[in-house]
Chains A and B, each alone.
Chain A
């Protein structure tokens, strides 16, 4: 059978959606290529443009595969596969002309729907994916069938219980061929160094980093320091992380702690963010290592959502004695060196030097801004004594270096600060805007947290990055040092915020449900269900029976029966009970006539029913409900009247 692509609404809609979904994860060139091919196909089908020959599409396929290989150096990675799928499906659409192409495209479409889930399990994609999924099935039905959509919806409804059962019961085996999730493309987050401008660049990205949900304890925004990487090697403004050193010191013990769960977004570099001071981190699905300085890191960047649970105790402090690496001071530029020498001469105690540092950074000339201009790695003089404009990383980097120069061991911590609390879902949403850097200084035999941003822009920490960077630059500059500006009064939420909270909460629950259902969850789910085995079996048998009957009814009842036909069914049952069954292939009117002859007391009603049936079914006349009701009423009145003598007469059979 010859087929035309743009004459298949289900297929066109599905492909439009799956290509759109795949394009969000694919490079721009392949999306443009697919769009051009689709446009050309439309022109060739609708405006008689010359269509591509199969040889040409084959040649283009080879070129495209070569280009993908050149770009990704593989054809197997998920990005490469996705790019290939987009290109190949577009070329297949160009070739589309017969039943075989039609079916091939549909299979390809199903793969593309599933492929999207590799990149994101965000609820936002489930609606278009679901529509594409339904559209592909719709396209498989015979176009002449009526009504197609209703049939499909019934079939989906009948299939849903089985799909849910399979989802809950299919064992989540961890397979030996687990596909590598390594990805270097599109990874967001902190790298191994803190160069001036890194965090500011990250904070400019409006993208979700992770969500966190606390068990029972409410948290203040100001105290939420999400610790990620720890940088120990100073070059002035730039800091580098140490080589991977597994944790050696014994784990700190504490019975108290704040429990929380973190759901990381895909695309993040592999740091696991924890609050100070993380006692333990547990994850069933994400393999990670604990390094020195309480840094938790997975081996690879995240290509899908991952969850982990952590316990932190704010009353615990790291007391590990700093090694030499944490005391090394880089060569300081002249003005900085002069300031350091002055302080060293004036203040002899660590506490005094800390006060000097604080006083230095409280200078009102310091400006907190995302666009401070370019600084070289050791441009301390320009930053501290010249321009005086910086972002959190500049202040943290400079503070750490100055502290070391003053004999105080220090390290820079990068991570996130704060987040937006979702009142509906009771969780924190931390985005890249919340990216932050601060310092830890070894004083009084323990590592203490110091955040220089607190002196320069306390409003940023009190208000949260989301709202702070929502202010105009002028407002930011004007009110950055006013800690409570704009925070007075009752918190009011606009409708947009409420909707945003709701959608985000829905997304959170969806992500949580989809992610969290692993082998352990599955076991506990079934263990909970089968606790009372007898009750479980009884309910299961009942559910299966009801389910099967429901499914059977859903799949069988494909037609809408007219009221007169329903009445006819009743009469047939009535007749069968009285020994006059409806003969196979017997004309209904003939049967009614036969009944009327056999049961004279009901003859009047049967004749009326026959007339109504004849008019509606055979003559296809419009029959008002009143007429049907009248015949039903008469039938109900007469059906129980006793006949004097009933001699069931069967229809004469043909004698062959």
Chain B
């Protein structure tokens, strides 16, 4: 059997997802569904008003055919209420695993919508409480689970409660709006905003130079974050394009970051932001790196788990911790 293809449900064998804590320790995808709410929309109220006017008209004229029209209208609207409610009720909403969340930046957070029923759910949208961000309308197909990205911009670092996720739909006619809130009491570690000088500190900058001593692989176009010293002027002249040399990764020398390297910055938060930027860049560029924060030492390593540990330390730091 080809089990690789069978993964249409969210993985349940994961360990602790990076950057995600939950209190209390409920399952990430709870079987107990949260309550579904339903309320008429503005259009629904207008429809109700119109039905009332038509009912008055039917009574005034004593006209059974108008009565029939009004009752047909009301019945369809009433049945649509059930559909609207059911469209949202049958879904489960939960957070997916996601990468580091930086404060002051737009982070794409994946919300998992699971439809374990036999019917599709239509015209859904997700939003976060306290924000105006809303996803475009989407369909949750029957017996499928899907991740839908939504933008979240936390304003401060540290342990932050993830905003309530609201799943909403006005299906089928827009007369009623039904929604459910996914409020899992999830605490998320928001790491410091990436801000400061993108250049690695001078000592480690030498490491970059040494990195260039590795085996040459190919050229690539210059990017704004590249040091001008990496430009291969000869190749640039030949191809009429700013090119830098790419070297085999294994040849990259490790970077060593420390709290002292940011002492030029007076503000505590600015120092955290600077380190956050360097760490994140180093991970992106494929360097291995270490971090020393006062007495705390994160030995040289690479990968998301290492980055998570480093950034978490920065995220939860209190002024004076690293002196």
* Interchain CB contact under 8 A, B13 and A654: yes
Cβ of A59 within 8 Å of any chain B Cβ, yes or no, is no
* Interchain CB contact under 8 A, A107 and B50: yes
Q: How far is the CA of A539 from the CA of B32 in the complex (A)?
A: 36
Mask: chain B, 7-28; 1 = CB below 8 Å from A; 0 = not:
1111011111000001001011
- Please provide the chain A residues from 598 to 656 with a CB less than 8 Å away from any CB of chain B in the complex: 607, 610-611, 614, 618-619, 651-656
Cβ of B120 within 8 Å of any chain A Cβ, yes or no, is yes
* Interchain CB contact under 8 A, B71 and A167: yes
A121: B residues at CB distance < 8 A: 63-65
B172: A residues at CB distance < 8 A: 140-142, 145, 151, 155
Q: Choose, from A28-36, A293-301, A557-565, the stretch at the interface.
A: A557-565
- Please provide the chain B residues from 56 to 107 with a CB less than 8 Å away from any CB of chain A in the complex: 56-76, 78-80, 82-83, 86
Given contacts A142-B122, A178-B62, contact A158 B79 (CB under 8 A): yes
Mask: chain A, 151-176; 1 = CB below 8 Å from B; 0 = not:
10001101110110011001011110
Known A-B contacts: A514-B68, A555-B83, A586-B9. Give 8 more (CB < 8 A): A103-B174, A155-B76, A155-B83, A177-B56, A559-B118, A587-B3, A589-B2, A589-B6
Q: How far is the CA of A113 from the CA of B8 in the complex (A)?
A: 47
Chain B residues engaging chain A, CB cutoff 8 angstroms: 1-3, 5-10, 12-16, 22, 25, 27-29, 31, 43, 46-47, 50, 53-54, 56-76, 78-80, 82-83, 86, 114, 116-120, 122-123, 137, 142, 145, 171-174
Cβ of A493 within 8 Å of any chain B Cβ, yes or no, is no
Beta-carbon nearest neighbor of B112 in chain A: A585
* Interchain CB contact under 8 A, A172 and B62: yes
* Interchain CB contact under 8 A, A117 and B76: no
Sample (8) of A-B pairs whose CB atoms are under 8 Å apart: A107-B47, A159-B72, A163-B68, A514-B64, A514-B65, A518-B62, A559-B118, A618-B6
With both chains docked as a complex, state the minimum distance between the C-beta of B141 and any C-beta of chain A, in angstroms.
Answer: 9
With both chains docked as a complex, state the minimum distance between the C-beta of A525 and any C-beta of chain B, in angstroms.
Answer: 13
* Interchain CB contact under 8 A, B61 and A304: yes
A170: B residues at CB distance < 8 A: 67, 71
Beta-carbon nearest neighbor of B141 in chain A: A559
* Interchain CB contact under 8 A, A561 and B174: no
Cβ of A577 within 8 Å of any chain B Cβ, yes or no, is no
* Interchain CB contact under 8 A, A584 and B116: yes
* Interchain CB contact under 8 A, A585 and B59: no
* Interchain CB contact under 8 A, B137 and A142: yes
Q: How far is the CA of A242 from the CA of B25 in the complex (A)?
A: 94
Beta-carbon nearest neighbor of A651 in chain B: B12
Cβ of A588 within 8 Å of any chain B Cβ, yes or no, is yes
Beta-carbon nearest neighbor of B59 in chain A: A175
Cβ of A137 within 8 Å of any chain B Cβ, yes or no, is yes
With both chains docked as a complex, state the minimum distance between the C-beta of B110 and any C-beta of chain A, in angstroms.
Answer: 15
Cβ of A593 within 8 Å of any chain B Cβ, yes or no, is yes
With both chains docked as a complex, state the minimum distance between the C-beta of A644 and any C-beta of chain B, in angstroms.
Answer: 24
Cβ of A515 within 8 Å of any chain B Cβ, yes or no, is yes
Q: How far is the CA of A142 from the CA of B122 in the complex (A)?
A: 9
Beta-carbon nearest neighbor of A610 in chain B: B1
* Interchain CB contact under 8 A, B120 and A588: no
* Interchain CB contact under 8 A, A590 and B79: no
A163: B residues at CB distance < 8 A: 68, 71-72, 74-76
* Interchain CB contact under 8 A, B116 and A585: yes
Given contacts A140-B172, A514-B68, contact A304 B63 (CB under 8 A): yes
With both chains docked as a complex, state the minimum distance between the C-beta of A637 and any C-beta of chain B, in angstroms.
Answer: 21
Q: How far is the CA of A590 from the CA of B56 in the complex (A)?
A: 59
Q: How far is the CA of A107 from the CA of B54 in the complex (A)?
A: 11
* Interchain CB contact under 8 A, B79 and A155: yes
Cβ of A181 within 8 Å of any chain B Cβ, yes or no, is yes
* Interchain CB contact under 8 A, B119 and A556: yes
B46: A residues at CB distance < 8 A: 103, 107
A538: B residues at CB distance < 8 A: none
With both chains docked as a complex, state the minimum distance between the C-beta of A103 and any C-beta of chain B, in angstroms.
Answer: 5
Q: How far is the CA of A118 from the CA of B79 in the complex (A)?
A: 27
* Interchain CB contact under 8 A, B12 and A654: yes
* Interchain CB contact under 8 A, B54 and A111: yes
B71: A residues at CB distance < 8 A: 162-163, 166-167, 170
* Interchain CB contact under 8 A, A557 and B118: yes
Q: How far is the CA of A557 from the CA of B120 in the complex (A)?
A: 9
Given contacts A114-B70, A117-B65, A589-B3, contact A555 B50 (CB under 8 A): no
With both chains docked as a complex, state the minimum distance between the C-beta of B178 and any C-beta of chain A, in angstroms.
Answer: 14
* Interchain CB contact under 8 A, A103 and B69: no
* Interchain CB contact under 8 A, B56 and A114: no
Cβ of A442 within 8 Å of any chain B Cβ, yes or no, is no
A160: B residues at CB distance < 8 A: 75
Cβ of A285 within 8 Å of any chain B Cβ, yes or no, is yes
3 smallest beta-carbon distances between A and B, as pairs: A587-B6, A585-B9, A117-B65
Q: How far is the CA of A166 from the CA of B76 in the complex (A)?
A: 12
A16: B residues at CB distance < 8 A: none
With both chains docked as a complex, state the minimum distance between the C-beta of B13 and any C-beta of chain A, in angstroms.
Answer: 6
With both chains docked as a complex, state the minimum distance between the C-beta of B269 and any C-beta of chain A, in angstroms.
Answer: 31
A587: B residues at CB distance < 8 A: 3, 6-9
* Interchain CB contact under 8 A, A137 and B76: yes
Q: How far is the CA of A517 from the CA of B118 in the complex (A)?
A: 42
* Interchain CB contact under 8 A, A589 and B76: no
Q: How far is the CA of A654 from the CA of B9 in the complex (A)?
A: 14
Q: How far is the CA of A590 from the CA of B57 in the complex (A)?
A: 60
A142: B residues at CB distance < 8 A: 122-123, 137, 171-172
B137: A residues at CB distance < 8 A: 142
Given contacts A114-B54, A654-B13, A656-B22, contact A593 B1 (CB under 8 A): yes
Q: How far is the CA of A118 from the CA of B59 in the complex (A)?
A: 11
With both chains docked as a complex, state the minimum distance between the C-beta of B97 and any C-beta of chain A, in angstroms.
Answer: 11
Q: CB < 8 Å: which of B53, B61, B119 contacts A118? A: B61
Beta-carbon nearest neighbor of B30 in chain A: A584
Q: How far is the CA of A126 from the CA of B68 in the complex (A)?
A: 11
Given contacts A103-B46, A618-B5, contact A137 B119 (CB under 8 A): no
